[in-house]
Chains A and B, each alone.
Chain A
Amino acid sequence: MSLDKALQEAMTGIPECLASGYVDMQSGMVLGVHTVDSHPQEVLDTLAAATADLFQGASVVHIENMFKKFRGTEKDESHYFHEMFIFSENLLHVFMRTKKYPDHVVCFVCRKNANPGMVLTKSRMALDPVSAAV
């Protein structure tokens, strides 16, 4: 199954989902995207480029290292944070690192009236089929 098709299918299960994207944080590039007509793709492109800045920015790396230190797992090279949720005035954005490729992030954009718990749960369930389509 193509990545775009997998994203499209994932969106059908996530409540109030307007857009989905697959981002390679190493390059900041969007590898796949699917949006409903009313949600311009340019918005997702802008976010994708900025995602790596936040997810892998100095502050987050600093905090990850602090947590590893507190927990005595400094040698663990895996990332501490795998999920990022952004609540804005109108939308809820979910970014999740995939298990298969930790530098790849799947992003779902939902309307803010969606149940956040359901959005997170359904997003997690959609993660593996999407990353398998890469």
Chain B
Amino acid sequence: MSLNDSIVELLKRVRGTSAKAETTSTRELKAGSGPLRLAAILNEIEETVLPRKLTFRLGDDAHIVMDVANGRLMRMLEVKPDSVVGPNQEIFSARDDKKKAEQVTAFRAFLTTFAQMNGPMEVTSGPPKTEYSAAEVGYTAPELRKACQDFEFPGDAPEPAEPDKKAAAKTPAKKSATKKPAAKKASAKKPATKPRKAATAAQASASIAAFFDACEPLSENIFLMSGKGKVDRHSGGTSAQKDWQSAAGDVASDLAQWIKATSNALGPSQLIVLKSPRLDNQSVCFATEANHTVVAVFNNADLARVLSAASNTLNWGVVR
């Protein structure tokens, strides 16, 4: 190829890349409830690496426009309808660490109020009008997620767990009929947070128990422990059982210390695998979720099977 041809080819490629960066595309985000809409928005922010202007539209009237780059929200450009913005809140223009608490509270309010609105959601990604300097860091998706994580969406509480259903069945019909309006009034004032939290904890406990069941056939020794090191379930060689039970207290305390130190960066649910370099040796994994830990000892060669079991059972999906 001559030099001329090479230059022409190179320019074609450059033009192709720049055209791609200039294009605007719209996608539907399938999210049928408030929490799913919020998660979809945060995921979009997290997965946007190159600078883009993202417009999230919900139904005909509501939209949020923001500049996003490097998985960070750089600037909020527009929020509609106006009711999404509270009376004393400003639309975020640049990160100011002196006002961090106010800014984070405002995000939480914008995003959660927006996510509660009804309608099909779509996102339009286009080129941003502003170029941001390296000094402008904005807010990362995990920071935004953390700000919104304990928000309870009204009317989105899952069905109560089985014992509550049984208790409700035992209650005489007359009594429940007379109590109903008062209960309704109370729920209108304050969303049912306790059943939701209890249901979330129950779901997490169920998933960690499912991980225990999936790993049991692969493990030489496996324990399911509560947060304080109390062994709830055990399976494996009885000769080593005493040794393992004596280690449970140390494991629980070391893990609690580790989770406390790293939960800001890694979150409270983690799968930790300690591995020796030799193939015929054993590995140990600690899976923590909902204040429960599974400790499993398995052969190094079974690492992939254990990861697969974790991926299939733990709520947060260990491997994508």
Partner of A62, one of B247, B257, B320: B247
Residues of B within 8 A of A113 (CB): 320
Partner of B261, one of A38, A50, A66, A81: A50
Q: Is the CB of B262 within 8 A of A46?
A: yes
Q: List residues of B (122-164) whose CB comes within 8 Å of A's CBs.
A: 134, 140, 142
Q: Which of A60, A63, A112 has the most CB of B within 10 A?
A: A63
What bracket does the count of chain A residues touching chain B fall in?
A: 35 or more
Q: Is the CB of B250 within 8 A of A58?
A: yes
Partner of B262, one of A47, A87, A116, A117: A47
With both beta carbons as reference points, the residue of chain A lying nearest to B262 in the complex is identified as A50
Q: Given A46-B265, A87-B310, answer yes or no on A112-B319 (Cβ-Cβ < 8 Å).
A: yes
Check: B22 CB closer than 8 A to any chain A CB: no
Q: What total of chain B residues lie within 8 Å of the partner, measured CB to CB? A: 45
Q: How far is the CA of A91 from the CA of B310 in the complex (A)?
A: 15
Check: B290 CB closer than 8 A to any chain A CB: no
Q: Given A59-B251, A86-B270, answer yes or no on A117-B304 (Cβ-Cβ < 8 Å).
A: yes
Check: B281 CB closer than 8 A to any chain A CB: yes
7 contacts between A and B (CB under 8 A): A57-B254, A58-B253, A67-B282, A84-B273, A88-B269, A91-B266, A116-B319
Q: Which of B240, B270, B281, B319 has the most CB of A within 10 A?
A: B319
Name the distance in Å between B148's Cβ and chain A's nearest Cβ: 14
Q: How far is the CA of A19 from the CA of B254 in the complex (A)?
A: 25
Check: A1 CB closer than 8 A to any chain B CB: no
Q: Mark A16-36, 1 if CB is under 8 A from B, else 0.
A: 000000000000000000000
Q: List residues of A (85-104) whose CB comes within 8 Å of B's CBs.
A: 85-91, 93
Check: A54 CB closer than 8 A to any chain B CB: yes
Residues of A within 8 A of B244 (CB): 66
Residues of B within 8 A of A70 (CB): 240
Q: How far is the CA of A104 from the CA of B103 in the complex (A)?
A: 40
Q: Is the CB of B261 within 8 A of A46?
A: yes
Q: How far is the CA of A96 from the CA of B320 in the complex (A)?
A: 23
Q: Mark B267-297, 1 if CB is under 8 A from A, else 0.
A: 1011111111100011010000000000000
Q: How far is the CA of A60 from the CA of B273 in the complex (A)?
A: 11
Which chain B residues have a beta carbon within 8 Å of chain A's beta carbons? 46, 49, 70-72, 134, 140, 142, 240, 243-244, 246-247, 250-251, 253-255, 257-258, 261-262, 264-267, 269-277, 281-282, 284, 304, 307, 310, 316, 318-320
Q: Is the CB of A54 within 8 A of B275?
A: no
Which chain A residues have a beta carbon within 8 Å of chain B's beta carbons? 37-38, 40, 43, 46-47, 49-50, 53-54, 57-60, 62-63, 66-67, 69-70, 80-91, 93, 112-113, 116-117
Q: How far is the CA of A24 from the CA of B277 in the complex (A)?
A: 20
Q: How far is the CA of A86 from the CA of B250 in the complex (A)?
A: 19
With both beta carbons as reference points, the residue of chain B lying nearest to A70 in the complex is identified as B240
Q: Is the CB of A81 within 8 A of B276?
A: yes
Q: Is the CB of B240 within 8 A of A53?
A: no
Residues of A within 8 A of B255 (CB): 59
Q: How far is the CA of A33 from the CA of B277 in the complex (A)?
A: 24
Name the distance in Å between B133's Cβ and chain A's nearest Cβ: 12
Residues of A within 8 A of B284 (CB): 63, 81
With both beta carbons as reference points, the residue of chain B lying nearest to A45 in the complex is identified as B265
Q: How far is the CA of A116 from the CA of B307 in the complex (A)?
A: 9
Q: Is the CB of B310 within 8 A of A66?
A: no
Q: Is the CB of B142 within 8 A of A90?
A: yes
Q: Is the CB of A66 within 8 A of B277?
A: no
Q: Is the CB of A81 within 8 A of B275?
A: yes
Q: Which of B140, B251, B262 has the most CB of A within 10 A?
A: B262
Considering the complex of A and B, which 3 residue pairs feature the smallest CB-CB distances, nearest first? Answer: A88-B266, A38-B70, A59-B250
